[in-house]
Amino acid sequence: MPLLCLFKKLIKLMINSSLILFVAFTPLVGAIILFFIPNEKIRLIRSIAFTTSLITFLFSLLLWLEFDYSTAKFQFVNNVNWLPFSNINFYIGVDGISIFFIILTTFLIPVCILVGWSTVKNYLKQYLIAFLVLETLMIFVFCTLDLLLFYLFFESVLIPMFLIIGIWGSRERKIRAAYQFFLYTLFGSVFMLLAILFIYFQTGTTDLQILYTTEFTVQRQIILWLAFFASFAVKVPMVPVHIWLPEAHVEAPTAGSVILAGILLKLGSYGFLRFSIPIFPEATLYFTPLIYTMSVIAIIYTSLTTLSQIDLKKIIAYSSVAHMNFVTIGLFSLNIQGIEGSLLLMLSHGLVSSALFLCVGALYDRHKTRLIQYYGGCVQTMPLFSLFFLIFTLGNLSLPGTSSFVGEFLILVGSFQSNTMITTLAATGMVLGAAYSLWLYNRVIFGPFKPNFINRFSDLNRREVMMFLPFIIGIFWIGIYPEIFLRVMHISVSALIQHGNY
Amino acid sequence: MNLSFIDLFENDLKGVFPEIFLITGTIILLVYGVIYTTERRVLSKRNIATPILIRNISWLGLYSLVLSFLLTINTPFLNGVIFYNSLVLDNFTYYLKLIIFIATFSTILFSIDYLREEKLNSFEYIILILFSTCSILLMVSSYDLIALYLAIEFQSLSFYVIAASKRNSEFSTEAGLKYFLLGAFSSGILLFGCSMIYGFTGVTNLEELAKILTSLPEAPWITETGLFIGILFLAVGFLFKLTAAPFHMWAPDVYEGSPTSVTAFFSLAPKIAILGALSRVFFYSFYDLILPWQKIFIVCSIASMILGALAAVFQKKIKRLLAYSSIGHVGYMLIGLSCGTIEGVQALFLYLIIYIAMTINIFSLLLALQKIGRGGKERRLKYIADLRGLAHTNPILALTLTAVLFSIAGIPPLAGFFGKFYLFFTALSASLYLLAVIGVVTSVISCFYYIRLVKIMYFEKINTWPLWGSIKRENSLLLAITFFFILFLGIYPSPFFLVTHQMALALSF
């Protein structure tokens, strides 16, 4: 008993000081340790990386446990003076909006490491280091409370991701994909940098909590909102600037796709929610029709595009675009249901889409092709895989009971209050989603078996099953009992809405 | 009363003690070198040898640089105007001198092995670098147009010689000739500007100029006359020396033609000195005439950024690419000057420090990296495509180069980002929105060719595994130090912000 007390005290101490720093820096420490281990010790390298990522995940769960959801304040706050003569501080903290993104990040990284367990043959150490560094950067993106630091981490994610796509991608086209990913994102975000600098010049601070209480004139808000939009729209992705996404997804290695779909797409919508909506309320109202229109076009267009794709990964990539545009509709409906639905759909998409990419990765590892015409009849050779794939496909088409349903339902409820027309159009996305998901499943799993093309049979191994199980648990948990997630978000989201007087 | 010469200049001489030490040391090295390299040593009846002292003199030169660096740190006085108001000492010159020492020190350090392997056996090369370092030090602290011009000429003369130091190479001689012609031309323009200013104001001292020109905007009769022409010519002369865009013609050829160690020196030391002198003259003396000269720098800055971004995309040779990239960087730095604010100057020198670190890194890699071809023949990097496969055979080196390239491109969290972010911030706060927008757009475009190098190193398939020579200890040391600087500046940037802030403040008084 005294031992337990001591343990509790230790945890309390850690929380008071810096639990969030533990979460953020553990992967970095792991990456630094990996640097000093020779390349040949593959087992050691793998186990160190995996252990570090698991420890990070546990720390982030602790974050959730200790989270006080009766307040909208930022918790676990840390503030370090960073630049002299300026109000740019290294300021981090977590609230109900960002906490699940951090948990999602820490949840997906061990999976990424498991994915590359035996399939990554060359430069395994560098691969693991890249992912661990990426994890630190992404956690920081979600917990910084300073605009400039947000930009800093938002951009620095590009470097490891560029290398991951380029080095461990599968085909020659990967170079083009890496370039597109890099330049699209960079081009969008430099305008955000200008906007941040402008805000800093106007208000003398980049501290988010102070900016929440600052008011800009409407014209300025509109310009600044557009500058932020240029960056976030590329990341979300909205429809004219979504071209990089299918390319990057198709060419990235499986773990890269998991991170891209799971986390990096969320950076854009998180940015909308954290920055555009509360800081520029008038501009947000002004541009809501634009967002609605672009999102609806994206939902319908990409869902239809999905039907004509022949690459497995591209289909899932386009379906991600559709889901993320559901998210933006929910965000800009500017009421509690819509925003909470978006947050849930982001979480759910982080699980479902990542899991689908893992499924495609499993197929690709076995048969070295992603073209759909070579597949068929997998149910006869891979029954276990078919089961998992079915669950994730159903999750993707937002079947009631899965997490996506809760998200999309709340989004539609939310947007129905602001614009029925948009809701009606967006709801067609659910039908189309069902169409492409089921058709994809049908073509891969059922139908005639094509032994001319696919002639090495192996069902999922234990590692892969273990990898998929947490996803299934997550999907059903959110789908059946979403209250536990909504409860944490509730106060923060309503504070955000109250703050903007929406 | 016996008032001797020494008494009169007692404190003045203390003020220039580092320069005096360096010049004396260099002369002693020159004498030593001349005597020992022309001494015939009879080894046997048939072997009569004269020693090659390049390595020896390099190390001695490094020691003398270190000693003058220490002298500069322990200077007896930080502030003062000496030698009949022709030289000035303040925080600005102090820190710039330290940066210059670091830049020169690393230039000599990372080219020692290069010089030996390329058989550039004339020790005068090092002597000339030391002499030009002296002139650069004087240039930074000059407080009079005449002193400034003399220092610039001293430096340029040394540079003309070392640009053509590889006499058996056609490129090098051509580069030397081009550099000489355009350098002399630009010096002429600069001198004409000085004489116009002198003719219309009657003074050459920068402080007196500042006093005369303080209320000038209220007296437009002077601005309309030759003073403006003088300022224009002065600016053009400086921009020539800085390789800013409309006056950049010589830079790519000279950068490519001269030996790589010389290119490294050209892209490091003169940039510091000329930017220092430029900001002293324009920011301090001509401050009230900011409206006319600001336009010149804005135009040059825009032109340099665009040229640096677009022209480098099509380069195949690595040194030409670096030349255009340095033109682009000059464009970014001119943003800081065009602002005409303290933050602008601070941003300029912050960027300069980071630029120096990145350039030292790239050149110490470029000078040391050798591809071992068939039959063990070593070949230096000439084309960008030569980097192919570096990541496979030398991963740490590739990682270093990648970090530096991303930093040059201005991707956070590397050092280059902080320089650019602060420059753009000052541009916005000085309401130069166009400059900021063009700056960010060109930095995205220039990303394209920086990450192309990363692509060549990492992504391209290789048929034959290239073999690389090992990197020498001196170079790897410099590589490591600058790599850590670039990687971790973001964690604790305060000292650099404070130092550059002090520099900018010293300049504005």
Total of domains in chain A? 2
Number of other residues whose CB lies within 10 A of the CB of residue A473: 11
Model confidence at A171: pLDDT above 80: no
Give yes or no: residues A241 and A302 share one domain: no
Q: Please state the domain extents for chain B.
A: 9-507
Interface contact A159-B441, CB threshold 8 A = no
pLDDT at position A29 is: 93
d(CA A456, CA A485) in angstroms, rounded, equals 42
- HEC secondary structure over A465-487: HHHHHHHHHHHHHHHHCCHHHHH
- How many CB pairs lie under 8 A apart between chains A and B? 84
What is the number of residues in chain B?
509
pLDDT at position B217 is: 64
Q: Tell me the sheet residues that pair with B378.
A: B372
What's the average model confidence in pLDDT over A123-147? 89
Strand, coil or helix: A237: coil
Q: Which of A246, A279, A312 is the last residue of a domain?
A: A279
End-to-end Cα distance, chain A: 51
| B484 interface with A at CB cutoff 8 Å | no
Model confidence at B373: pLDDT above 80: no
Where on the phi/psi map is residue B431: left (φ > 0), alpha (ψ -120 to 50), or beta? left
Give yes or no: residues A325 and A187 share one domain: no
Reported as a single tens digit per residue, the pLDDT across B443-495 is 999 998 898 888 888 888 888 788 888 888 999 999 999 999 999 998 888 89
| B313 interface with A at CB cutoff 8 Å | no
Interface contact B447-A84, CB threshold 8 A = no
Give yes or no: residues A273 and A326 share one domain: no
pLDDT at position B46 is: 78
Reported as a single tens digit per residue, the pLDDT across A66-80 is 888 888 888 888 888
- Which two three-digit tokens encode residue B127? 């002597």
Helical packing angle, B318-339 and B433-458, nearest 10° = 160
d(CA B265, CA A165) in angstroms, rounded, equals 37
Domain extent for A238: 18-279
Q: Quick one: what percent of chain A has pLDDT higher than 70?
A: 99
Give yes or no: residues A356 and A446 share one domain: yes
- Asked if the structure places residue A175 within a domain, the reply is yes
- Asked if the structure places residue A285 within a domain, the reply is no
Q: Which of A279, A312, A339 is the last residue of a domain?
A: A279
- Which two three-digit tokens encode residue B285? 């003396």
Residue with tokens 């960087």: B329
Give yes or no: residues A94 and A207 share one domain: yes
- Asked if the structure places residue A333 within a domain, the reply is yes
Interface contact B455-A175, CB threshold 8 A = yes
Give yes or no: residues A318 and A220 share one domain: no
Cβ contacts of residue B344 below 8 Å, gap of 6+?
B335, B336, B337, B338, B426, B427, B430
Q: Grade residue B224 by pLDDT with cuts at 50, 70 and 90.
A: low
- Say which range, A429-433, A471-475, B346-350, has the weakest mean pLDDT: A429-433
Model confidence at B93: pLDDT above 70: yes
How close A84 comes to chain B (CA, Å)? 6
Interface contact A166-B494, CB threshold 8 A = no
pLDDT at position A16 is: 64
| B171 interface with A at CB cutoff 8 Å | no
Model confidence at A347: pLDDT above 60: yes
pLDDT at position B5 is: 58
Give yes or no: residues A256 and A342 share one domain: no
Helix (H) or strand (E) holding A421: helix A420-445
Reported as a single tens digit per residue, the pLDDT across B410-445 is 998 899 999 999 999 999 999 999 999 999 999 999
Which one is predicted more confidently, B2 or A176? A176
Reported as a single tens digit per residue, the pLDDT across B302-313 is 999 999 999 999
What's the average model confidence in pLDDT over A273-293? 93
Reported as a single tens digit per residue, the pLDDT across B159-180 is 999 988 888 888 889 999 999 9
Query: Which residues of chain A does B451 touch, with a Cβ-Cβ cutoff of 8 Å?
Result: 162, 179, 182
Reported as a single tens digit per residue, the pLDDT across B242-301 is 999 889 988 999 999 999 999 999 999 999 999 999 999 999 888 888 888 899 999 999
pLDDT at position B221 is: 61
- Selection from A270, A281, A233, A284 nearest residue A347 by Cα: A270
- Selection from B143, B135, B96 nearest residue B285 by Cα: B143
Query: Please, what is the average pLDDT of chain B?
Result: 89
Model confidence at A109: pLDDT above 80: yes
Q: Which of A248, A279, A310 is the last residue of a domain?
A: A279
pLDDT at position A412 is: 93
pLDDT at position A15 is: 65
Amino acid identity of B506?
Answer: A
Q: Grade residue B8 by pLDDT with cuts at 50, 70 and 90.
A: low
d(CA B57, CA B111) in angstroms, rounded, equals 13
Cis upstream peptide for B413 (omega within 30°): yes
pLDDT at position B7 is: 64
Model confidence at B219: pLDDT above 80: no
pLDDT at position A3 is: 76
| DSSP assignment string, A67-122 | --TT--S-EEEEEEE-STTS--EEEEEE-TTTHHHHHHHHHHHHHHHHHHHHH--S
Residue with tokens 């990554």: A120
| Cross-chain CB nearest to A183 (options B425, B437, B448) | B448
Give yes or no: residues A260 and A383 share one domain: no
- Asked if the structure places residue A8 within a domain, the reply is no
d(CA A68, CA B151) in angstroms, rounded, equals 67
Interface contact B459-A83, CB threshold 8 A = no
Reported as a single tens digit per residue, the pLDDT across B332-345 is 999 999 998 999 99
Which DSSP symbol is given to B179?
H
Interface contact B428-A194, CB threshold 8 A = yes
pLDDT at position A221 is: 93
Reported as a single tens digit per residue, the pLDDT across B20-30 is 999 999 999 99
d(CA A389, CA A440) in angstroms, rounded, equals 10
How close A167 comes to chain B (CA, Å)? 6
- Asked if the structure places residue A208 within a domain, the reply is yes
Reported as a single tens digit per residue, the pLDDT across A429-459 is 888 988 999 999 998 998 888 777 777 778 8
What's the average model confidence in pLDDT over A291-312? 92
Q: What is the dihedral of CA B201, B207, B208, B212, to 10 degrees?
A: 70
Model confidence at A198: pLDDT above 60: yes
What's the average model confidence in pLDDT over A13-27? 80
Positive or negative, the CA dihedral A377, A378, A384, A388 is negative
Query: Which residues of chain A does B494 touch, with a Cβ-Cβ cutoff of 8 Å?
Result: 82-84
| A152 interface with B at CB cutoff 8 Å | yes
Interface contact B493-A201, CB threshold 8 A = no
Helices (H), A262-382: 265-271, 277-279, 281-307, 312-332, 336-367, 378-381
Model confidence at B329: pLDDT above 90: yes
Query: Please, what is the average pLDDT of chain A?
Result: 89
Helix (H) or strand (E) holding B82: strand B80-82
d(CA A340, CA A275) in angstroms, rounded, equals 16
Reported as a single tens digit per residue, the pLDDT across B192-211 is 999 999 998 889 999 999 88
How close B83 comes to chain A (CA, Å)? 36
Query: Phi, psi (5° rounding) for residue B468?
Result: -115, 140
pLDDT at position B6 is: 58
- Which two three-digit tokens encode residue B165? 């130091």
